[in-house]
Structure 1
Protein backbone atom coordinates (compact mmCIF):
# COMPACT_ATOMS: atom_id res chain seq x y z
CA UNK A 1 0.00 0.00 0.00
CA UNK A 2 1.43 3.37 -1.02
CA UNK A 3 0.13 6.80 -0.05
CA UNK A 4 -0.61 9.06 -3.02
CA UNK A 5 -1.18 12.78 -3.19
CA UNK A 6 -4.94 13.31 -2.72
CA UNK A 7 -4.95 16.31 -5.06
CA UNK A 8 -3.30 14.50 -7.98
CA UNK A 9 -5.19 12.91 -10.86
CA UNK A 10 -4.96 9.24 -9.78
CA UNK A 11 -6.75 10.06 -6.52
CA UNK A 12 -9.31 12.47 -7.96
CA UNK A 13 -10.13 10.13 -10.85
CA UNK A 14 -10.76 7.25 -8.47
CA UNK A 15 -12.86 9.47 -6.20
CA UNK A 16 -14.85 10.61 -9.24
CA UNK A 17 -15.58 6.98 -10.10
CA UNK A 18 -16.94 6.59 -6.55
CA UNK A 19 -18.99 9.79 -7.02
CA UNK A 20 -20.45 8.43 -10.27
CA UNK A 21 -21.34 5.13 -8.62
CA UNK A 22 -22.99 6.97 -5.71
CA UNK A 23 -25.05 9.09 -8.11
CA UNK A 24 -26.28 5.92 -9.80
CA UNK A 25 -27.15 4.27 -6.50
CA UNK A 26 -28.49 7.26 -4.54
CA UNK A 27 -29.14 10.04 -7.05
CA UNK A 28 -32.30 10.97 -8.89
CA UNK A 29 -34.55 13.87 -9.88
CA UNK A 30 -33.89 15.72 -6.62
CA UNK A 31 -30.50 14.45 -5.42
CA UNK A 32 -27.11 14.65 -7.11
CA UNK A 33 -23.57 14.51 -5.75
CA UNK A 34 -20.43 16.33 -6.84
CA UNK A 35 -16.94 15.59 -5.60
CA UNK A 36 -15.81 18.25 -3.13
CA UNK A 37 -12.33 17.30 -1.88
CA UNK A 38 -10.15 14.22 -1.52
CA UNK A 39 -8.36 14.38 1.83
CA UNK A 40 -6.54 11.03 1.88
CA UNK A 41 -5.67 8.41 -0.72
CA UNK A 42 -3.61 5.28 -1.06
CA UNK A 43 -3.09 2.66 -3.76
CA UNK A 44 -2.46 -1.06 -3.50
CA UNK A 45 -1.19 -3.03 -6.47
CA UNK A 46 -2.78 -6.49 -6.35
CA UNK A 47 -0.85 -8.91 -8.53
CA UNK A 48 -2.98 -10.50 -11.24
CA UNK A 49 -6.03 -8.43 -10.29
CA UNK A 50 -5.45 -4.68 -10.59
CA UNK A 51 -5.02 -1.52 -8.52
CA UNK A 52 -7.17 -0.75 -5.49
CA UNK A 53 -7.56 2.84 -4.25
CA UNK A 54 -8.61 3.58 -0.68
CA UNK A 55 -10.07 7.07 -0.36
CA UNK A 56 -11.31 9.53 2.21
CA UNK A 57 -13.19 12.40 0.61
CA UNK A 58 -16.23 14.65 0.76
CA UNK A 59 -19.06 15.17 -1.70
CA UNK A 60 -21.58 17.95 -2.09
CA UNK A 61 -25.31 17.28 -2.31
CA UNK A 62 -25.79 19.94 -4.97
CA UNK A 63 -29.61 19.92 -4.94
CA UNK A 64 -30.05 20.04 -1.16
CA UNK A 65 -28.43 23.20 0.17
CA UNK A 66 -25.02 21.97 -1.07
CA UNK A 67 -24.79 19.81 2.04
CA UNK A 68 -21.27 18.38 2.52
CA UNK A 69 -21.08 14.64 3.14
CA UNK A 70 -17.95 12.87 4.35
CA UNK A 71 -17.26 9.50 2.75
CA UNK A 72 -14.81 6.66 2.48
CA UNK A 73 -14.56 4.39 -0.54
CA UNK A 74 -12.53 1.68 -2.19
CA UNK A 75 -12.22 1.59 -5.96
CA UNK A 76 -10.66 -1.47 -7.56
CA UNK A 77 -9.62 -1.08 -11.19
CA UNK A 78 -9.20 -4.50 -12.77
CA UNK A 79 -6.45 -5.29 -15.24
CA UNK A 80 -7.23 -3.80 -18.65
CA UNK A 81 -7.52 -7.17 -20.38
CA UNK A 82 -10.47 -8.11 -18.14
CA UNK A 83 -12.78 -5.36 -19.52
CA UNK A 84 -14.59 -5.20 -16.20
CA UNK A 85 -16.08 -2.12 -14.53
CA UNK A 86 -14.26 -0.97 -11.39
CA UNK A 87 -15.53 -2.50 -8.17
CA UNK A 88 -16.72 0.29 -5.86
CA UNK A 89 -17.71 0.18 -2.21
CA UNK A 90 -18.50 3.30 -0.20
CA UNK A 91 -19.62 4.43 3.24
CA UNK A 92 -21.38 7.70 4.04
CA UNK A 93 -20.11 9.12 7.31
CA UNK A 94 -22.65 11.96 7.27
CA UNK A 95 -26.41 11.48 6.99
CA UNK A 96 -28.16 12.71 3.86
CA UNK A 97 -30.35 15.76 4.33
CA UNK A 98 -33.37 17.09 2.50
CA UNK A 99 -36.76 15.43 2.14
CA UNK A 100 -36.66 14.37 -1.49
CA UNK A 101 -39.40 11.73 -1.27
CA UNK A 102 -42.30 14.17 -1.62
CA UNK A 103 -40.57 15.98 -4.49
CA UNK A 104 -39.90 12.68 -6.25
CA UNK A 105 -43.54 11.64 -5.89
CA UNK A 106 -44.72 15.00 -7.24
CA UNK A 107 -42.42 14.71 -10.26
CA UNK A 108 -43.48 11.12 -10.85
CA UNK A 109 -47.19 11.96 -10.78
CA UNK A 110 -46.67 14.93 -13.08
CA UNK A 111 -44.94 12.81 -15.73
CA UNK A 112 -47.51 10.02 -15.39
CA UNK A 113 -50.34 12.51 -15.95
CA UNK A 114 -48.99 13.88 -19.24
CA UNK A 115 -51.41 13.32 -22.10
CA UNK A 116 -48.51 13.09 -24.55
CA UNK A 117 -45.13 11.45 -23.79
CA UNK A 118 -42.39 13.89 -22.83
CA UNK A 119 -40.06 14.86 -25.69
CA UNK A 120 -37.29 17.46 -25.41
CA UNK A 121 -33.94 18.37 -26.93
CA UNK A 122 -30.73 20.17 -25.96
CA UNK A 123 -30.80 20.30 -22.16
CA UNK A 124 -29.24 22.73 -21.41
CA UNK A 125 -29.60 24.83 -24.56
CA UNK A 126 -26.68 26.64 -26.21
CA UNK A 127 -27.05 29.49 -23.72
CA UNK A 128 -26.89 27.14 -20.71
CA UNK A 129 -30.58 27.45 -19.87
CA UNK A 130 -32.78 24.63 -18.58
CA UNK A 131 -36.56 25.10 -18.30
CA UNK A 132 -37.66 24.63 -14.69
CA UNK A 133 -40.00 21.77 -15.59
CA UNK A 134 -37.11 19.85 -17.17
CA UNK A 135 -34.68 20.22 -14.26
CA UNK A 136 -35.74 16.92 -12.62
CA UNK A 137 -35.44 15.15 -15.99
CA UNK A 138 -31.92 16.51 -16.38
CA UNK A 139 -31.00 15.42 -12.84
CA UNK A 140 -32.34 11.93 -13.50
CA UNK A 141 -30.27 11.72 -16.69
CA UNK A 142 -27.13 12.82 -14.83
CA UNK A 143 -27.73 10.17 -12.16
CA UNK A 144 -28.11 7.58 -14.91
CA UNK A 145 -24.89 8.85 -16.50
CA UNK A 146 -23.25 7.94 -13.21
CA UNK A 147 -23.83 4.31 -14.21
CA UNK A 148 -22.35 4.83 -17.69
CA UNK A 149 -19.29 6.66 -16.36
CA UNK A 150 -18.67 4.05 -13.65
CA UNK A 151 -19.12 1.09 -15.99
CA UNK A 152 -16.72 2.49 -18.58
CA UNK A 153 -14.05 3.99 -16.32
CA UNK A 154 -10.44 2.90 -16.26
CA UNK A 155 -7.34 4.40 -14.67
CA UNK A 156 -6.80 6.22 -17.96
CA UNK A 157 -10.24 7.86 -18.31
CA UNK A 158 -11.86 10.80 -16.56
CA UNK A 159 -15.53 11.29 -17.43
CA UNK A 160 -17.13 14.54 -16.30
CA UNK A 161 -19.77 16.81 -17.85
CA UNK A 162 -22.82 15.43 -19.62
CA UNK A 163 -25.51 17.10 -21.70
CA UNK A 164 -28.81 15.78 -23.02
CA UNK A 165 -29.18 15.99 -26.79
CA UNK A 166 -32.66 14.46 -26.70
CA UNK A 167 -35.03 12.67 -24.34
CA UNK A 168 -38.13 10.68 -25.26
CA UNK A 169 -40.50 9.16 -22.76
CA UNK A 170 -41.77 5.67 -23.52
CA UNK A 171 -45.28 4.95 -22.23
CA UNK A 172 -45.61 1.82 -20.12
CA UNK A 173 -48.48 -0.11 -18.55
CA UNK A 174 -46.65 -0.81 -15.29
CA UNK A 175 -45.61 1.69 -12.61
CA UNK A 176 -42.19 2.65 -13.95
CA UNK A 177 -41.33 5.72 -15.98
CA UNK A 178 -39.17 4.92 -19.01
CA UNK A 179 -36.95 7.38 -20.86
CA UNK A 180 -34.63 7.13 -23.84
CA UNK A 181 -31.72 9.57 -23.65
CA UNK A 182 -29.17 10.60 -26.25
CA UNK A 183 -26.27 12.06 -24.27
CA UNK A 184 -22.87 13.64 -24.79
CA UNK A 185 -20.34 12.85 -22.06
CA UNK A 186 -17.02 14.68 -21.82
CA UNK A 187 -13.94 12.48 -21.46
CA UNK A 188 -11.35 14.83 -19.97
CA UNK A 189 -8.19 12.90 -20.92
CA UNK A 190 -8.93 12.69 -24.65
CA UNK A 191 -10.99 15.93 -24.61
CA UNK A 192 -13.65 14.10 -26.63
CA UNK A 193 -17.41 14.48 -26.28
CA UNK A 194 -18.56 10.87 -26.42
CA UNK A 195 -22.09 10.09 -27.64
CA UNK A 196 -24.08 7.60 -25.58
CA UNK A 197 -27.61 6.26 -25.66
CA UNK A 198 -29.38 5.15 -22.49
CA UNK A 199 -32.73 3.53 -21.81
CA UNK A 200 -33.69 3.88 -18.15
CA UNK A 201 -36.52 3.01 -15.79
CA UNK A 202 -37.35 5.00 -12.66
CA UNK A 203 -40.02 5.21 -10.02
CA UNK A 204 -39.86 6.68 -6.50
CA UNK A 205 -40.02 3.35 -4.67
CA UNK A 206 -37.72 1.24 -6.87
CA UNK A 207 -35.24 3.93 -7.85
CA UNK A 208 -33.16 3.96 -11.02
CA UNK A 209 -32.48 1.06 -13.37
CA UNK A 210 -30.42 1.20 -16.56
CA UNK A 211 -32.05 -1.05 -19.15
CA UNK A 212 -29.59 -0.35 -21.96
CA UNK A 213 -26.50 1.77 -22.61
CA UNK A 214 -24.48 2.03 -25.79
CA UNK A 215 -21.54 4.13 -26.94
CA UNK A 216 -22.15 5.51 -30.42
CA UNK A 217 -19.52 5.80 -33.17
CA UNK A 218 -17.53 9.02 -33.23
CA UNK A 219 -19.24 10.25 -36.38
CA UNK A 220 -22.55 10.18 -34.51
CA UNK A 221 -21.05 12.44 -31.88
CA UNK A 222 -19.87 14.87 -34.56
CA UNK A 223 -23.32 14.90 -36.15
CA UNK A 224 -24.99 15.64 -32.81
CA UNK A 225 -22.66 18.59 -32.23
CA UNK A 226 -23.51 20.15 -35.59
Structure 2
Protein backbone atom coordinates (compact mmCIF):
# COMPACT_ATOMS: atom_id res chain seq x y z
CA UNK A 1 0.00 0.00 0.00
CA UNK A 2 1.42 3.38 -0.97
CA UNK A 3 0.42 6.54 0.86
CA UNK A 4 0.99 10.13 -0.09
CA UNK A 5 0.88 12.03 3.18
CA UNK A 6 0.67 15.71 3.91
CA UNK A 7 1.87 16.09 7.50
CA UNK A 8 1.25 19.33 9.37
CA UNK A 9 3.14 19.57 12.63
CA UNK A 10 2.51 21.78 15.64
CA UNK A 11 5.13 24.47 15.75
CA UNK A 12 5.57 24.97 19.46
CA UNK A 13 5.43 22.57 22.34
CA UNK A 14 2.08 22.70 24.09
CA UNK A 15 0.12 23.74 20.99
CA UNK A 16 -3.29 22.12 21.03
CA UNK A 17 -4.67 20.08 18.18
CA UNK A 18 -5.11 16.50 17.06
CA UNK A 19 -4.09 15.08 13.68
CA UNK A 20 -7.04 13.84 11.66
CA UNK A 21 -7.02 11.95 8.40
CA UNK A 22 -8.90 12.00 5.13
CA UNK A 23 -8.22 9.06 2.84
CA UNK A 24 -9.32 9.02 -0.80
CA UNK A 25 -8.60 6.04 -3.09
CA UNK A 26 -7.06 7.08 -6.40
CA UNK A 27 -7.62 5.47 -9.77
CA UNK A 28 -3.98 4.55 -10.23
CA UNK A 29 -2.19 1.80 -8.35
CA UNK A 30 1.38 1.55 -7.19
CA UNK A 31 3.33 -1.53 -8.14
CA UNK A 32 6.07 -2.48 -5.68
CA UNK A 33 8.27 -3.30 -8.65
CA UNK A 34 8.34 0.43 -9.34
CA UNK A 35 9.99 0.93 -5.95
CA UNK A 36 13.13 -1.25 -6.02
CA UNK A 37 14.41 0.27 -2.79
CA UNK A 38 11.38 -0.78 -0.78
CA UNK A 39 12.38 -3.16 1.99
CA UNK A 40 10.66 -4.40 5.16
CA UNK A 41 11.14 -2.54 8.40
CA UNK A 42 14.12 -3.68 10.45
CA UNK A 43 13.64 -5.28 13.84
CA UNK A 44 15.75 -2.48 15.32
CA UNK A 45 13.33 0.19 14.11
CA UNK A 46 10.06 -1.66 14.79
CA UNK A 47 10.67 -4.14 17.58
CA UNK A 48 8.94 -6.77 15.44
CA UNK A 49 11.22 -9.77 15.98
CA UNK A 50 8.82 -12.58 15.14
CA UNK A 51 8.92 -14.39 11.78
CA UNK A 52 5.69 -16.18 10.95
CA UNK A 53 5.32 -19.40 9.01
CA UNK A 54 2.52 -20.13 6.52
CA UNK A 55 1.02 -22.53 9.03
CA UNK A 56 0.83 -19.78 11.63
CA UNK A 57 -0.68 -17.42 9.07
CA UNK A 58 -3.44 -19.89 8.36
CA UNK A 59 -4.45 -20.21 12.02
CA UNK A 60 -8.08 -19.44 12.70
CA UNK A 61 -8.20 -15.73 13.59
CA UNK A 62 -11.49 -16.21 15.43
CA UNK A 63 -9.98 -18.41 18.15
CA UNK A 64 -11.28 -17.62 21.62
CA UNK A 65 -9.85 -18.16 25.05
CA UNK A 66 -6.12 -18.36 25.67
CA UNK A 67 -4.03 -17.57 22.58
CA UNK A 68 -0.62 -18.74 21.45
CA UNK A 69 1.51 -15.59 21.91
CA UNK A 70 3.59 -16.36 18.81
CA UNK A 71 0.71 -16.89 16.40
CA UNK A 72 -1.13 -14.37 14.29
CA UNK A 73 -4.28 -13.64 16.38
CA UNK A 74 -2.26 -12.41 19.38
CA UNK A 75 0.39 -10.76 17.21
CA UNK A 76 -2.17 -8.86 15.14
CA UNK A 77 -3.85 -7.42 18.21
CA UNK A 78 -0.50 -6.55 19.79
CA UNK A 79 0.66 -4.79 16.62
CA UNK A 80 -2.41 -2.56 16.87
CA UNK A 81 -1.23 -1.52 20.34
CA UNK A 82 2.11 -0.49 18.81
CA UNK A 83 0.36 1.70 16.22
CA UNK A 84 -1.86 3.18 18.93
CA UNK A 85 1.10 4.15 21.14
CA UNK A 86 2.95 5.61 18.16
CA UNK A 87 0.01 7.75 17.05
CA UNK A 88 -0.64 9.01 20.59
CA UNK A 89 2.89 9.47 21.88
CA UNK A 90 5.35 9.04 19.00
CA UNK A 91 7.64 11.72 17.59
CA UNK A 92 10.88 11.93 15.59
CA UNK A 93 12.61 11.07 18.88
CA UNK A 94 10.19 8.55 20.39
CA UNK A 95 9.14 5.36 18.62
CA UNK A 96 7.46 2.24 19.96
CA UNK A 97 8.04 -1.32 18.82
CA UNK A 98 6.46 -4.63 19.74
CA UNK A 99 9.19 -6.76 21.27
CA UNK A 100 7.21 -9.74 22.53
CA UNK A 101 3.73 -10.98 23.34
CA UNK A 102 3.81 -12.67 26.75
CA UNK A 103 0.17 -13.77 26.84
CA UNK A 104 -3.15 -13.15 25.13
CA UNK A 105 -6.80 -13.96 25.54
CA UNK A 106 -9.72 -13.33 23.18
CA UNK A 107 -13.46 -13.30 23.81
CA UNK A 108 -16.56 -12.45 21.82
CA UNK A 109 -18.53 -9.45 23.08
CA UNK A 110 -22.00 -10.35 21.92
CA UNK A 111 -22.46 -9.44 18.27
CA UNK A 112 -20.59 -6.16 18.63
CA UNK A 113 -17.03 -7.45 18.25
CA UNK A 114 -14.12 -9.25 19.89
CA UNK A 115 -11.94 -8.18 22.79
CA UNK A 116 -8.28 -9.12 23.24
CA UNK A 117 -6.52 -8.92 26.60
CA UNK A 118 -2.73 -8.81 26.19
CA UNK A 119 0.46 -8.76 28.22
CA UNK A 120 3.21 -7.49 25.93
CA UNK A 121 6.76 -6.15 26.04
CA UNK A 122 6.93 -2.74 24.35
CA UNK A 123 10.28 -1.31 23.32
CA UNK A 124 10.93 2.43 23.05
CA UNK A 125 13.49 2.11 20.31
CA UNK A 126 15.50 5.33 20.49
CA UNK A 127 16.13 5.26 24.25
CA UNK A 128 16.41 1.44 24.16
CA UNK A 129 13.91 1.08 27.00
CA UNK A 130 11.58 -1.90 27.38
CA UNK A 131 8.53 -2.25 29.60
CA UNK A 132 5.97 -4.98 30.10
CA UNK A 133 2.55 -3.46 29.40
CA UNK A 134 -1.06 -4.51 29.77
CA UNK A 135 -3.35 -3.73 26.85
CA UNK A 136 -6.89 -4.27 25.65
CA UNK A 137 -7.89 -4.21 21.99
CA UNK A 138 -11.50 -4.29 20.80
CA UNK A 139 -12.25 -5.00 17.14
CA UNK A 140 -15.79 -3.85 16.29
CA UNK A 141 -17.85 -6.05 14.00
CA UNK A 142 -20.31 -4.74 11.45
CA UNK A 143 -20.89 -4.04 7.78
CA UNK A 144 -18.78 -0.89 7.98
CA UNK A 145 -15.24 -1.37 9.25
CA UNK A 146 -14.43 0.75 12.27
CA UNK A 147 -11.05 1.41 13.80
CA UNK A 148 -10.05 -0.84 16.71
CA UNK A 149 -10.38 0.61 20.20
CA UNK A 150 -7.24 0.39 22.34
CA UNK A 151 -6.34 0.88 25.98
CA UNK A 152 -2.74 0.44 27.10
CA UNK A 153 -0.84 0.96 30.33
CA UNK A 154 2.84 1.77 29.70
CA UNK A 155 3.55 4.62 32.11
CA UNK A 156 7.32 4.13 32.28
CA UNK A 157 7.76 4.44 28.53
CA UNK A 158 5.44 7.44 28.31
CA UNK A 159 7.44 9.32 30.94
CA UNK A 160 10.48 9.48 28.64
CA UNK A 161 10.92 13.17 27.81
CA UNK A 162 12.02 14.14 24.30
CA UNK A 163 10.93 17.78 24.30
CA UNK A 164 14.47 19.20 24.17
CA UNK A 165 15.41 17.17 21.07
CA UNK A 166 12.12 17.98 19.36
CA UNK A 167 12.41 21.69 20.03
CA UNK A 168 16.00 21.67 18.67
CA UNK A 169 14.87 19.81 15.55
CA UNK A 170 12.01 22.23 15.02
CA UNK A 171 14.36 25.20 15.25
CA UNK A 172 16.80 23.53 12.86
CA UNK A 173 14.17 22.83 10.21
CA UNK A 174 12.56 26.24 10.64
CA UNK A 175 15.86 28.11 10.24
CA UNK A 176 17.14 26.15 7.22
CA UNK A 177 17.79 28.35 4.20
CA UNK A 178 16.44 25.65 1.87
CA UNK A 179 13.55 23.23 2.35
CA UNK A 180 14.79 19.75 3.21
CA UNK A 181 13.92 16.54 1.37
CA UNK A 182 14.98 12.89 1.37
CA UNK A 183 14.27 9.76 -0.66
CA UNK A 184 14.32 6.01 -0.10
CA UNK A 185 14.49 5.77 3.70
CA UNK A 186 15.93 3.19 4.14
CA UNK A 187 17.76 2.45 0.87
CA UNK A 188 18.03 -0.99 -0.72
CA UNK A 189 20.82 -1.92 1.72
CA UNK A 190 18.84 -0.85 4.79
CA UNK A 191 20.99 2.25 5.30
CA UNK A 192 19.76 5.63 6.54
CA UNK A 193 21.98 8.69 6.89
CA UNK A 194 21.98 9.96 10.50
CA UNK A 195 20.66 13.41 9.56
CA UNK A 196 17.63 11.89 7.79
CA UNK A 197 16.62 9.53 10.61
CA UNK A 198 14.18 12.06 12.13
CA UNK A 199 12.40 12.20 8.75
CA UNK A 200 12.22 8.39 8.64
CA UNK A 201 10.81 8.35 12.16
CA UNK A 202 8.31 11.06 11.24
CA UNK A 203 7.13 8.89 8.34
CA UNK A 204 6.58 6.00 10.75
CA UNK A 205 4.54 8.16 13.13
CA UNK A 206 2.41 9.62 10.34
CA UNK A 207 1.78 6.22 8.72
CA UNK A 208 0.74 4.75 12.07
CA UNK A 209 -2.45 6.82 11.90
CA UNK A 210 -3.51 4.93 8.79
CA UNK A 211 -2.23 1.54 9.98
CA UNK A 212 -4.27 1.95 13.16
CA UNK A 213 -7.35 3.10 11.27
CA UNK A 214 -7.20 0.26 8.73
CA UNK A 215 -6.22 -2.57 11.10
CA UNK A 216 -8.57 -5.44 11.81
CA UNK A 217 -8.32 -9.08 12.86
CA UNK A 218 -7.06 -10.04 9.39
CA UNK A 219 -4.22 -7.54 8.98
CA UNK A 220 -0.66 -7.06 10.24
CA UNK A 221 0.67 -3.74 8.96
CA UNK A 222 4.23 -2.44 8.91
CA UNK A 223 5.71 0.61 7.23
CA UNK A 224 8.29 -0.55 4.68
CA UNK A 225 9.80 2.68 3.41
CA UNK A 226 9.57 6.44 3.12
CA UNK A 227 9.82 6.69 -0.66
CA UNK A 228 10.21 10.46 -0.44
CA UNK A 229 9.56 13.26 2.02
CA UNK A 230 9.73 16.98 1.26
CA UNK A 231 9.35 19.99 3.52
CA UNK A 232 6.72 22.43 2.23
CA UNK A 233 6.77 26.19 2.56
CA UNK A 234 4.46 27.66 5.22
CA UNK A 235 3.58 31.20 6.26
CA UNK A 236 3.06 30.42 9.94
CA UNK A 237 4.88 28.64 12.74
CA UNK A 238 3.97 25.15 11.57
CA UNK A 239 6.22 22.68 9.82
CA UNK A 240 4.61 20.89 6.90
CA UNK A 241 5.86 17.86 4.95
CA UNK A 242 4.69 15.98 1.88
CA UNK A 243 5.49 12.32 2.57
CA UNK A 244 5.06 9.30 0.27
CA UNK A 245 5.30 6.05 2.24
CA UNK A 246 4.97 2.34 1.43
CA UNK A 247 3.03 0.08 3.79
CA UNK A 248 3.07 -3.70 3.85
CA UNK A 249 0.38 -6.05 5.14
CA UNK A 250 2.25 -9.23 6.08
CA UNK A 251 -0.94 -11.30 6.02
CA UNK A 252 -2.25 -10.50 2.53
CA UNK A 253 1.11 -9.38 1.05
CA UNK A 254 -0.87 -6.50 -0.46
CA UNK A 255 1.24 -3.47 -1.36
CA UNK A 256 -0.52 -2.16 -4.46
CA UNK A 257 -3.14 0.41 -3.44
CA UNK A 258 -2.54 4.12 -3.68
CA UNK A 259 -4.17 6.58 -1.28
CA UNK A 260 -3.88 10.25 -0.51
CA UNK A 261 -3.79 11.14 3.18
CA UNK A 262 -4.15 14.58 4.70
CA UNK A 263 -3.12 15.07 8.33
CA UNK A 264 -4.41 18.35 9.79
CA UNK A 265 -4.63 19.90 13.24
CA UNK A 266 -7.93 20.39 15.05
CA UNK A 267 -8.39 22.39 18.22
CA UNK A 268 -9.25 20.55 21.40
CA UNK A 269 -6.58 17.88 21.89
CA UNK A 270 -2.81 18.00 22.07
CA UNK A 271 -0.91 16.89 18.99
CA UNK A 272 1.45 13.99 19.61
CA UNK A 273 3.03 14.08 16.17
CA UNK A 274 5.44 16.81 17.17
CA UNK A 275 4.73 18.10 20.69
Take 1:82 and 1:91, find their aligned partners in 2: how far apart are those partners? 29
**1:61 aligns to what?**
124
1:156 and 2:221 correspond: no
Which stretches in structure 1 are left out of the alignment for 5+ residues? Answer: 210-226
1:38 and 2:98 correspond: no
**1:2 aligns to what?**
65
Which stretches in structure 2 are left out of the alignment for 5+ residues? Answer: 1-63
Measured after TM superposition, the shift of residue 93 of structure 1 is 4.7
Q: What is the Cα-based RMSD across aligned positions, in Å?
A: 2.1
TM-score by length of 2: 0.69
1:28-69 Cα offsets, whole Å, 9 max, x none, are: 1011111011112111101221111111111111100x2102
Q: How does 1:64-103 map to 2 (within 5 A)?
A: 64=127, 66-96=128-158, 98-103=160-165
Kindly indicate whether structure 1 or structure 2 has the higher relative contact order, using CA contacts under 8 Å at least 6 residues apart.
Answer: 2
Measured after TM superposition, the shift of residue 170 of structure 1 is 1.9
1:167 and 2:229 correspond: yes
87-96 or 122-131, which moves further after superposition?
87-96
Query: 2:87, 2:272 within 8 Å by CA — same for their partners in 1?
Result: no
1:125-145 Cα offsets, whole Å, 9 max, x none, are: 222221211101111110112
Structure 2 residue matching 1:207: 3-state secondary structure: coil
Q: How does 1:106-121 map to 2 (within 5 A)?
A: 106-121=168-183
Cα distance change, pair 175–102 in 1 and its aligned pair in 2 (3 A): same
**1:213 aligns to what?**
none
Take 2:66 and 2:227, find their aligned partners in 1: how far apart are those partners? 41
Measured after TM superposition, the shift of residue 98 of structure 1 is 4.7
Match of 1:176 among 238, 261, 264: 238
Query: 1:28, 1:208 within 8 Å by CA — same for their partners in 2?
Result: yes
**1:208 aligns to what?**
273
How many corresponding residue pairs?
206
**2:200 aligns to what?**
138
**2:5 aligns to what?**
none
